[in-house]
C-alpha cells in the first residue's frame, strides 16, 4: 500500500483533540554546543510520554465495530504499549499487551493503569511476540503492529508534518530509527513539504538493523543492553525499509556513551527529559557536528519515558566524566590534626567534600600512614588540577581514582 502526504494530513485531522500538538522550539544551548541552528520537537510531552500514541490512535480509530468489540493485541515493553492502552481505553476497545517476563514493574504498572490487560510471556520480546500472534489466531483479535503498518506510519508522520509546517526552512531532519515507523512517516511528510530537505536516521550501534539492510549487509544476531530501548529493534519492517531506502539519505550509528551525553545535554541545557531513544538524534548531531555545522537542523525528542534511577545514574556518570565529581586517594601521616589540614586545603580551593573514607588497615599502607579516599564536587577538570596541586604542595601525595580522567601520584 502506498502512503502519501494526503494520508498523513488526514491522520493529522483525525488526531485533533486526541494527542497534543507538541511544540517545536529553537534551542540556543544546543545550537551553541553543536554549531548549528537547532529546533527540537518535544514528543516527550505527550500524555503517554512518546510519539507512539499518534499511530496507535489512527490504527484503532479505523477498526470496524466488530473488531473493536473483539479487542486488540500488541507487543511492547514500553511506549507502544502505553499508546495502544491509552487510546483503546478511550475508544472502549479491550486491549491485551504482551510483554517479556523481565519487563520492569513500573512499565507494567503504567500500562495497566492506562486500562490494558498485561500478560508477561517469554524471556524475550520475540517470545512475547509469538504468544501475541497465537492469541490473534485463536481469539480473532486485531494485532496492532508497532511500526510496519500504513496507518501507524501515517500517524507517526504527523510529527514531521507539524514540524515542517512550523519550520519550513529546515535543512535537515534527524530522526531515531527502531523499526522505522517514525522516520518513514516523517520522511514522507517532510519531503512532500520541502523536497530539498535532507532526512537522516540514527540507530544505536548495538541495534543497527536498518543501517545494515540498506547497506545490503546481513543483520547481526548479537545485540546488547542499550540505554536506547525504544529503538532496540532487531529487524526493520518491510514497508518501512522501502520508504527509508527512497527518502532517507543516511543512517548514522551512535554509541552508548554519546547517547548518555545527549540525555545529559537535554536535561542540563533546555531542561528536557529525554529517554535514550529520544536523545539519539541529538547524539548523532553531537557525533557529526562538522557535517551539520551552520545548517538548520530539526531534532525529534521521540520520548521521555526514562526510569528515574537510570536517569540519575546518567547524570552522576556525566558529572564524573566532566570532572565535576571526582574521587581522590590522598596519602597522609596517621597523626592528629592532619584531616583538618587536608579538608582546609580542599576547601580553600573551593572544592566541596561530599564523602570521606579513612583507611588505616589496608595491608599495603605503611603502619604510620593512612589512605584517605574523598569524593569532591568540583567545577571542572581545571578546578580538579588546582586541588591536586594544592594537596601535593601541602605534602599530601594524591591520585585520581577515576580512570577516565587519568591518574596522578
| Residue positions annotated with a catalytic role | 52, 302
Q: Measured between alpha carbons, how far is 250 from 291 in angstroms, rounded to an integer? A: 12
Distance CA 237, CA 184 (A): 10
Q: Which H or E element spans position 386? A: helix 381-393
List all residues 6 or more positions away from 335 whose beta carbon is below 8 Å from its beta carbon. Answer: none
Question: How many angstroms separate the CA atoms of 267 and 100, rounded?
Answer: 30
Alpha carbon of residue 371 to chain centroid: 40
DSSP-assigned letters across all residues of 162-176: HHHHH-TT-SEEEEE
Return the exposure string of 107-144: e unless at least 16 CB atoms fall within 10 Å of the residue's CB, then b.
bbebbeebbbebbebbeebeebbebbeebeeeeebbeb
User: Which residue carries 526493520 as its cell?
Assistant: 236
Sign of the torsion formed by the C-alpha atoms of 234, 238, 242 and 243 = negative
**E-strand spans in 2-67?**
24-26, 37-42
- How far is residue 125 CA from its own chain's centroid? 19
- Cβ–Cβ under 8 Å, residues 230 and 181: no
Angle at 200 between CA 304 and CA 321, to 5 degrees: 55
SS3 of residue 333 by DSSP: strand
Q: By three-state DSSP, how is residue 401 classified?
A: coil
Pairing verdict, β 37-42 and 24-26: antiparallel
First to last CA, the chain: 67
Pinpoint the alpha helices (H) of 100-218.
Answer: 105-113, 125-139, 150-166, 181-193, 209-214
Sequence-separated (6 or more) residues with CB below 8 Å from residue 389? none
Which residues, 6 or more positions from 1, have their beta carbon under 8 angstroms from its beta carbon?
150, 239
Amino acid at each position: 500500500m502506498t502512503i502519501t502526504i494526503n494520508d498523513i494530513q488526514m491522520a493529522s485531522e483525525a488526531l485533533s483533540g486526541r494527542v497534543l500538538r507538541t511544540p517545536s522550539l529553537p534551542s540556543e544551548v544546543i545550537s551553541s554546543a553543536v554549531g548549528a541552528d537547532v529546533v527540537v520537537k518535544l514528543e516527550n510531552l505527550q500524555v503517554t510520554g512518546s510519539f507512539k500514541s499518534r499511530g496507535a490512535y489512527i490504527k484503532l480509530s479505523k477498526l470496524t465495530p466488530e473488531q473493536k468489540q473483539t479487542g486488540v493485541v500488541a507487543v511492547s515493553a514500553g511506549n507502544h504499549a502505553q499508546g495502544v492502552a491509552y487510546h483503546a481505553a478511550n475508544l472502549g476497545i479491550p486491549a491485551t499487551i504482551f510483554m517479556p517476563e523481565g519487563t520492569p514493574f513500573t512499565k507494567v504498572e503504567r500500562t495497566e493503569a492506562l486500562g490494558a490487560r498485561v500478560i508477561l510471556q517469554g524471556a524475550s520480546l520475540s517470545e512475547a511476540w509469538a504468544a501475541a500472534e497465537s492469541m490473534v489466531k485463536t481469539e480473532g483479535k486485531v494485532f496492532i503492529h508497532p511500526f510496519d503498518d500504513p496507518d501507524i506510519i501515517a500517524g507517526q508522520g504527523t510529527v514531521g508534518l507539524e514540524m515542517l509546517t512550523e519550520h519550513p526552512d529546515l535543512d535537515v531532519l534527524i530522526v531515531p530509527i527502531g523499526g522505522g515507523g517514525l522516520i518513514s512517516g516523517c520522511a514522507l511528510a517532510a519531503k512532500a513539504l520541502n523536497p530539498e530537505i535532507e532526512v537522516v536516521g540514527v540507530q544505536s550501534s548495538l541495534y543497527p538493523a536498518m543501517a545494515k539492510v540498506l547497506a545490503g549487509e546481513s543483520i547481526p544476531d548479537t545485540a546488547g543492553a542499550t540505554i536506547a530501548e525504544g529503538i532496540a529493534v532487531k529487524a526493520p519492517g518491510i514497508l518501512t525499509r522501502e520508504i527509508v531506502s527512497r527518502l532517507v539519505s543516511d543512517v548514522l550509528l551512535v554509541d552508548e556513551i554519546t547517547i548518555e551525553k545527549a540525555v545529559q545535554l537535554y536535561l542540563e541545557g533546555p531542561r528536557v527529559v529525554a529517554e535514550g531513544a529520544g536523545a539519539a538524534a541529538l547524539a548523532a548531531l553531537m557525533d557529526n557536528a562538522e557535517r551539520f555545522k551552520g545548517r538548520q537542523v530539526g531534532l525529534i525528542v521521540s520520548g521521555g519515558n526514562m526510569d528515574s534511577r537510570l536517569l540519575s545514574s546518567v547524570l552522576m556518570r556525566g558529572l564524573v566524566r566532566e570532572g565535576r565529581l571526582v574521587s581522590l586517594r590522598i596519602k597522609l601521616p596517621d597523626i592528629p590534626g592532619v584531616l583538618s589540614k587536608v579538608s582546609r586545603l580542599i576547601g580553600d580551593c573551593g572544592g566541596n567534600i561530599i564523602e570521606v573514607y579513612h583507611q588505616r588497615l589496608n595491608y599495603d599502607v605503611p603502619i604510620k600512614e593512612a589512605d584517605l579516599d574523598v569524593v569532591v564536587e568540583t567545577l571542572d577538570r581545571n578546578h580538579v588540577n588546582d586541588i591536586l596541586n594544592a594537596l601535593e604542595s601541602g605534602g599530601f601525595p594524591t591520585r585520581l581514582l577515576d580512570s577516565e580522567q587519568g591518574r596522578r601520584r
